[in-house]
């Protein structure tokens, strides 16, 4: 993911200075799509492994998240 972001930044800097060729424009579009896909995947993984606990210690994880965790067979740590 870091390599993708690094290349996106390189192409963005080049776009500001000189402009990009058609191949580079296509590359940056593909890289951005890959980056967004990886970001969403890691964010979903983070949320599926999250349990919300109130100050008393009771599990107050929203039902929608609990259903998603059950679909993916993820057991909360708490």
Q: What single string gives the DSSP state of each residue in 6-24?
A: HHHHHHHHHHHHT---HHH
Report whether 34 contacts 28 (CB < 8 A): no
Task: Report how far residue 70's alpha carbon sits from residue 10's, in angstroms, rounded to the nearest whole number.
Answer: 41
Task: Report how far residue 78's alpha carbon sits from residue 75's, in angstroms, rounded to the nearest whole number.
Answer: 9
77 vs 68, residue with greater confidence: 68
Residue 49 has pLDDT above 90, yes or no: no
49 vs 28, residue with greater confidence: 28
pTM of the model: 0.73
Task: Report how far residue 39's alpha carbon sits from residue 5's, in angstroms, rounded to the nearest whole number.
Answer: 11
Mean pLDDT (whole number) for 39-63:
91
What average pLDDT does the chain have? 91
């Amino acid at each position: 993911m870091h390599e993708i972001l690094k290349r996106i930044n390189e192409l963005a800097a080049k776009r500001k200075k000189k402009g990009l060729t058609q191949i580079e424009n296509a590359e940056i579009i593909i890289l951005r799509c890959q980056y967004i896909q990886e970001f969403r995947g890691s964010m979903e993984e983070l949320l599926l492994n999250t349990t919300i606990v109130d100050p008393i210690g009771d599990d107050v994880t929203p039902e929608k998240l609990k259903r998603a965790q059950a679909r993916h067979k993820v057991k909360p740590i708490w």
